[in-house]
Amino acid sequence: MPISAPRPALIDRFGRRITYLRLSITDRCDFRCNYCMAETMQFLPRHRILSLEECLRVARIFVDLGVSKIRITGGEPLVRKNALWLLERLSTLPGLKELVLTTNGSQLERYALPLRQAGVRRINISLDSLDPARFRAMTRVGDLARVLGGIEAALRAGFDAIKLNTVMMRGVNDSELESLTQFAVNRGIDIAFIEEMPLGAVDHRRGDTYFSSDAALARLRHRFDLVPSTKNTGGPARYWRVAHSPTQVGFISPHSHNFCADCNRVRVTCQGELFPCLGQDERVDLMAPLRRHPDDDVPLRQAIAAAMGIKPEGHDFDLAQPRPKIVRFMSMTGG
């Protein structure tokens, strides 16, 4: 029997193997969450955005280089026209084991079933509040009823797993940690609480709204019987299982429990910038090799390989600074 060549792998200077790509397909969004964006945003013109064909080509090359998980994100990925076209094709890429999506849920009543049928197995839905007025204030424009309808549609569509994502903000939504967890428990789905990251200048001081994972965990343990979970996503979340329930509660703690040593991911923005770290400015441009060499993947593969040489050891978020070091908003890089 012939011995097949080993699959190429993306390994950075610190020996971390990159197996996970987060691909942002738009910088646009129908919400304006106050921790993610400024109130008025300038979005990119269409010609500076990767076409869906270009997104597919980038994804195919990453998979060829050993990536086994892709998350489609944004901005809000479901406001991108024909997003399903891309997802259907991604789900058939040989070698891709997991195709997942992060969404604000606003379009899920319409798209949950088509997404499942397109091959998306798991989705993350952002939900920061169960109070309509607070939800509106945090998202600036969002309609809670629509998102809740989207979550129910996702439950009916039969995804393998649904996880809620909640950004914790002291004095804003920290009073809802228990009710949001109960909401997840009632539906048998997971929830992850995220410490707010200083990405882009927003209209509040991030240090003032910082709520730590440890404080959240301590509070939740008063109300729920939480047992340490063995669930490991190869990512930054630490999970606890709610006893007698399928629900897992995760904590993503960029400030209090740095997770960079285990980082297995890179991000590609909708304008074709490859960011090896969410919290640093190093990047490699993929747009030029993509467009200059439409029929030759070698320059693109070389650009991706070059990014392994500049992946930083970690982020150094500093909430004490009045201005964030990273001026890109989360919606630009893709959360």
Applying CB under 6 A, among 33, 90, 169, 274 the residue interacting with ligand SF4 is 33
Contact flag: residue 195 with ligand SF4 (CB under 6 A): no
What is the closest distance, in whole angstroms, from the C-beta atom of residue 229 to ligand SF4 in the complex? 25
Nearer to ligand SAM (CB atom), residue 61 or residue 172: 172
Sign of CA dihedral 51, 159, 166, 18: negative
223: DSSP letter:
H
Token pair 């006893």 is found at 243
C-alpha closest to that of 102 among 22, 182, 186 = 22
Q: Of these partners, ligand SF4, ligand SAM, none, which one is at the site of residue 196 (CB under 5 to 8 Å by kind)? A: ligand SAM
Question: How is residue 300 annotated by DSSP?
Answer: H
Q: Got the DSSP string for 177-194?
A: HHHHHHHHHHHT-EEEEE
238 beta partners? 251
Q: Which two tokens stand for residue 110?
A: 């319409």
Binding mask 55-74 for ligand SF4 (x = CB under 6 A): -------------------x
194 binds, among ligand SAM, ligand SF4, none (CB under 5 to 8 A by kind): ligand SAM
- Give the per-residue contact string, 218-257, with ligand SF4 (x = CB under 6 A; - = no): ----------------------------------------
* Contacts for 298 with CB less than 8 Å, ≥ 6 apart: none
Which residues 125-184 are close enough to bind ligand SAM by CB under 6 A?
A: 126, 165, 167
User: Residue 226: what are its φ and ψ, rounded to 5°?
Assistant: -105, 125
d(CA 163, CA 248): 9
Q: Which does 185 bind (CB under 5 to 8 A by kind): ligand SF4, ligand SAM, none?
A: none
Half-sphere exposure of 249 (CA within 13 A, CB side): 29
Q: Alpha-carbon torsion 41, 45, 50, 53, what sign? A: positive
276 makes contact, choosing from ligand SF4, ligand SAM, none, with CB < 5 to 8 Å by partner type, with none
Strand partners, 164: 125, 191
User: Interface with ligand SAM includes 331 (CB under 6 A)?
Assistant: yes
142/134 Cα distance (integer angstroms): 10
Closer of 35 and 240 to ligand SAM (Cβ):
35
Exactly one of 36, 52, 151, 189 binds ligand SAM (CB under 6 A); that residue is 36
Coil vs helix vs strand at 10 = strand
Binding-site size for ligand SAM (CB under 6 A) equals 19
Asked if residue 269 binds ligand SAM (CB under 6 A), the reply is no
User: Where in 258-297 is the site for ligand SF4 (CB under 6 A)?
Assistant: none
Q: Are strands 265-268 and 20-24 parallel, antiparallel or unpaired?
A: parallel
Q: How far is the CB of 28 from ligand SF4 (least distance, A)?
A: 9
Question: What are the residues binding ligand SAM (CB under 6 A)?
Answer: 29, 35-36, 73-74, 76, 102-104, 126, 165, 167, 194, 196-197, 199, 330-331, 335
Question: What are the residues binding ligand SF4 (CB under 6 A)?
Answer: 29, 31-33, 36-37, 74-76, 104, 126, 330-331
